[in-house]
Amino acid sequence: MIAETVKWVGGVNGVLELIDQRQLPDRLEILRIRSVEQLYEAIKTLAVRGAPAIGVAAAYGPLLALHWLAAGEGPPEALEGVVKACDYLASSRPTAVNLSWSLGRVCARARSVAGDAGSTIEDLQEAVLAEAKAIHAEDVEMCRKIGANGEKFIRDGFGVLTHCNAGALATAGQGTALSVLFEAQKKGRQFEVYADETRPLLQGSRLTAWELQQAGIKATVICDNMAGFLMRQGKIQAVITGADRIAANGDTANKIGTYSVSVLAKHHGIPFYVAAPSSTFDLSLASGEGIPIEQRNASEVTWMGGAHIAPDNIDVYNPAFDVTPAGNITAIITERGVIVGPNPDRIRTLLG
């Protein structure tokens, strides 16, 4: 990766730098985020995207809120500002649980410091920055471990299909699904990757293909409706994707189209792997039925590259995610180990 997907520059009054993923693959531009509103907008419009990356980026949001404190405000007012910023940012995208998980962590740390007798605004700022940096560093480490735990599933001569982007651009580290491929590459394994283009926002062709090309991994872009034919032709030996939220029974929300790919993989007897950190599990939900699915603007479907590709006023349904039932998943690869044949018992045992 030429630049870091998420980077905090400076101390408590620093700036959040994000790769503007809306511009890729044409331009590598860095966005400088100085307010909670700018961060909300960056998450909402997918300048920063991917479950772990939005979790890490949002963790710095409360710090941005503290930049704008009025003179004379003390820890109680500052805490109010932090909580407001957390609630606001958490509402930007509903499906990826990493967002509310990381904001919850930062908020809890802020509450505990603000509750200490004699604590100052500076203490609060330092504590929020430390928590955000801890979440950031943990994400980098989780990515590496997911890769190390999953690389054995990618063998010489494999064709591997992936959907959306679960690479370095979707995390603060080297990705989840793509981390598995990067670690297999480091072992000297020869394989090739098919990247579903991933309509409507093309994260596969714009971002995954770009990352794989940079890493020197043989990559081929296909339209989403081609995956079944490639499987039938024997070109695919494994499917690997990331996840936005995994319920207690292993049902997994990921980018729209993932469910269809899982059905195709099951039909063709091809293993289907999900790579995700433990922060992507939501054990409060018994099954995928309870996962909120983000609905996005119709224009994402009716326009492409500045051109109208559907008639005016046509009805559009644009769910950004779908849920793959646990029964279609061969294994979930986490930083703590691999859950083969995910079910509630195995998931609880691994996550503790």
> Which of the 8 DSSP states describes residue 27?
-
> Which of the 8 DSSP states describes residue 23?
S
CB of 175 to ligand MRU, least distance (A): 6
Q: Please state, in angstroms and rounded to a whole number, the distance separating the CA atoms of residues 253 and 271.
A: 18
Query: Is the Cβ of residue 123 or residue 300 nearer to ligand MRU in the bound state?
Result: 300
At a CB cut-off of 8 Å and minimum separation 6, what does 170 contact? 5, 49, 50, 51, 52, 53, 176, 207, 242
| Contact present, 322 and 257 (Cβ < 8 Å) | yes
Look up 315 and say whether it is catalytic.
no
| Contact present, 65 and 82 (Cβ < 8 Å) | yes
Query: Is the Cβ of residue 159 or residue 175 nearer to ligand MRU in the bound state?
Result: 175
CB of 99 to ligand MRU, least distance (A): 10
CB of 222 to ligand MRU, least distance (A): 17
Tally of CA atoms within 13 A in the half-sphere of 12 that contains its CB: 15
CB of 196 to ligand MRU, least distance (A): 11
Query: 116-121 — which CB contacts under 8 Å span 24+ positions?
Result: 119/75, 120/75, 121/66, 121/69, 121/73, 121/74, 121/75, 121/78
Contact residues toward ligand MRU (CB under 6 A) are 46, 49-52, 96, 164, 166, 170-171, 176, 203, 241-244, 254-255, 320
Q: How far is CA 214 from CA 206, 218, 219, in A?
A: 12, 10, 10
Catalytic residue selected from 139, 196, 224, 244 = 244
Helix (H, G, I), strand (E, B) or coil at 344: helix
Query: Is the Cβ of residue 65 or residue 261 nearer to ligand MRU in the bound state?
Result: 261
Query: Is the Cβ of residue 100 or residue 254 nearer to ligand MRU in the bound state?
Result: 254
| Phi, psi values for residue 18, rounded to 5° | -130, 140
User: Among all residues, whose Cβ is closest to ligand MRU?
Assistant: 242
Inter-axis angle of helices 121-150 and 97-114, nearest 10: 150
Residue 311 tokens, joined? 């008639």
Query: Is the Cβ of residue 96 or residue 193 nearer to ligand MRU in the bound state?
Result: 96
DSSP 198-228: -TTTTHIIIIIHHHHHHHT-EEEEE-GGGHH
CB of 339 to ligand MRU, least distance (A): 17
DSSP 85-118: HHHHHHTS-SS-HHHHHHHHHHHHHHHHHHTSTT
Query: Is the Cβ of residue 47 or residue 65 nearer to ligand MRU in the bound state?
Result: 47
SS3 content of the chain, % helix, strand, coil (to 5): 45, 15, 40
Query: Is the Cβ of residue 227 or residue 243 nearer to ligand MRU in the bound state?
Result: 243
CB of 166 to ligand MRU, least distance (A): 4
CB of 242 to ligand MRU, least distance (A): 3
- Counted residue by residue, the chain has a size of 352
- Residues with a catalytic annotation lie at 244
